[in-house]
Structure formats: structure tokens, C-alpha cells
């Protein structure tokens, strides 16, 4: 039996992965560092400052700015990102997610958020989902971000679940790696050719078909 389901947020619960992309792309343009969706896959699941470092590296500008300037770039990106969050309503919850959370609640299986985002609580409030999660791991509470397993392991510990009986759901390569490093079953949401190489046990195009019986079958497979 499943002891906990540990969800990533951006790109699994709602489409905020796209908002991150829009906001980073804008900053990239301002810095003269254009990039595409393929490069953007590397930014998913990693922290704000790490994302900025990757973009600067791409443009060969990683030595060009002081820490204060970098902090200012990250602040600007976040301001843009947070302004995009203003339009978020419960209708923006991905297909099947609310239904799955209700099924888990009925079955007494804890649902946990393991997101790298400092904006996670605000997003869950905007979607009206806060009360359906037993625990939200704070990204600053662990030593290492994804692809390290820390966020997922902390989530399991907080709800008293055995890692091998947890299912993690992720849209990012770094996130799938984190779930597998934690010794959990990994369900990828997105492209098979992106998430299978990262170690996903199963990949679904979207969240529509991810219900409790599917999760139980996946754990038993
Ligand atoms: P913030 P997740 C991650 O969220 C995003 O995938 C990643 O693109 C972002 O840089 C990171 O959160 C930090 O977000 O700037 O809001 O603190 O996918 O782990 O839910
Ligand atoms: Mg994500």
C-alpha cells in the first residue's frame, strides 16, 4: 500500500512552470542571453539562484556580475513571476489533481508538497488546495535542492512514511532524479524522451489519468 504521495508543484499541480519560463526568458532577453524550451528543461526544479547561474553560464556571463547584481536580477525575475501569479485561480489546477487529492484524503493517504519554490504557499492558496496537503516542505529547510533527495525524504519523514512506499510526481529531470535518489517510485509528467532518461518509472503526458488506482498499480508493478 501507498504510504504517501509527494508532489512537485510547478508543472505538476498547475502550469506555473510556464510562468517561470516566461519570466526567465524576459530576463535573458534583457541580458542578451536568448534561450529556448529545450534549455529551459535544465531550469526546472532547481532554485532561483541556480537557475540564474545556469542562464549566465549559457551566455558566458557567469563572471560578469557581482553578487549584488545577481541578487537584483533574481529579484527582478521573481517580481515578474509573482505578477503572473496574480491571475491564478482554482480553475488553473491541472486536470485530475483536485480529484486525486480528494481520493487520497478519503483513503487516509498523506499528500505532501516537495517544491523548490519559495512561492509555493502563495500558489497553493490561490488554487484553494492548501487544506488538501498534510505537509509542505520548505525549500530552505533542507541542505540540498533537487536533484538531491532531501526535499522528498523530508516530506516522507514528516508524515511518517517509508520511502520505498512513497510515490513522487515530477515534471523536471532534476526532480525525477531526486525522487529516485530518495528510493521512491517516480511518475513523470511530460515528455517520455525528457523524463525517462532521468529515471522515471512511468511517464504520463499530463495529469488527467493520474488517479489513486493508477498510483496503486504503479507501486505494485
Ligand atoms: P521560486 P518546483 C521550482 O518549483 C521550479 O521548477 C523552478 O523552475 C524554480 O526556479 C524553483 O521552483 C524556485 O522557484 O523562484 O518561486 O522560489 O517545480 O520544484 O515546484
Ligand atoms: Mg516542477
Q: Give SS3 for 218.
A: helix
Residue 198 vs residues 26, 27, 35, 142, 208: alpha-carbon distances, Å: 28, 28, 22, 22, 22
Q: Degrees (nearest 5) of the Cα angle 49, 41, 3?
A: 90
Per-residue model confidence (pLDDT) at position 221: 86
Q: Give SS3 for 201.
A: coil
- Global ipTM: 0.94
Rounded to two decimals, what is the model's pTM? 0.94
Cell of 146: 533537487
User: Which residue positions in the chain have pLDDT lower than 50?
Assistant: none
Give, for ligand 1, the residue of 113, 116, 136 to mutate: max count of ligand atoms closer than 8 Å to Cβ.
116
123-149 residue pLDDT tens: 999 999 999 999 999 999 999 999 999
CA dist., res. 149 & res. 175, Å (int): 9
- Annotated binding-site residue numbers for substrate: 8-10, 24, 43-48, 51, 77, 115-119, 146
Cell of 152: 522528498
Amino acid at each position: 500500500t501507498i504510504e504517501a504521495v509527494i508532489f512537485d508543484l510547478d508543472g505538476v499541480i498547475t502550469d506555473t512552470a510556464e510562468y517561470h519560463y516566461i519570466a526567465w526568458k524576459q530576463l535573458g532577453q534583457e541580458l542578451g542571453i536568448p534561450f529556448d524550451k529545450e534549455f529551459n528543461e535544465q531550469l526546472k526544479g532547481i532554485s532561483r539562484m541556480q537557475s540564474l547561474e545556469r542562464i549566465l553560464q549559457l551566455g558566458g556571463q557567469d563572471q560578469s556580475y557581482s553578487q549584488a547584481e545577481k541578487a537584483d536580477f533574481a529579484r527582478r525575475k521573481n517580481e515578474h513571476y509573482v505578477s503572473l501569479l496574480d491571475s491564478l485561480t482554482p480553475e488553473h489546477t491541472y486536470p485530475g489533481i483536485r480529484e486525486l487529492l480528494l481520493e487520497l484524503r478519503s483513503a487516509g493517504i498523506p499528500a505532501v508538497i516537495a517544491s523548490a519554490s519559495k512561492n509555493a504557499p502563495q500558489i497553493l492558496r490561490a488554487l484553494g488546495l492548501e487544506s488538501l496537503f498534510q505537509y509542505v516542505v520548505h525549500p530552505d529547510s533542507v541542505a540540498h535542492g533537487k536533484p538531491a533527495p532531501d526535499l522528498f525524504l523530508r516530506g516522507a519523514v514528516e508524515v511518517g512514511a517509508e520511502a520505498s512506499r512513497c510515490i513522487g510526481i515530477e515534471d523536471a529531470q532534476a526532480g525525477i532524479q531526486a525522487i529516485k535518489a530518495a528510493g521512491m517510485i517516480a511518475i513523470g509528467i511530460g515528455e517520455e524522451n525528457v523524463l525517462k532518461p532521468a529515471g522515471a518509472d512511468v511517464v504520463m503526458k499530463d495529469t488527467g489519468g493520474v488517479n489513486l488506482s493508477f498510483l496503486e498499480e504503479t507501486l505494485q508493478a
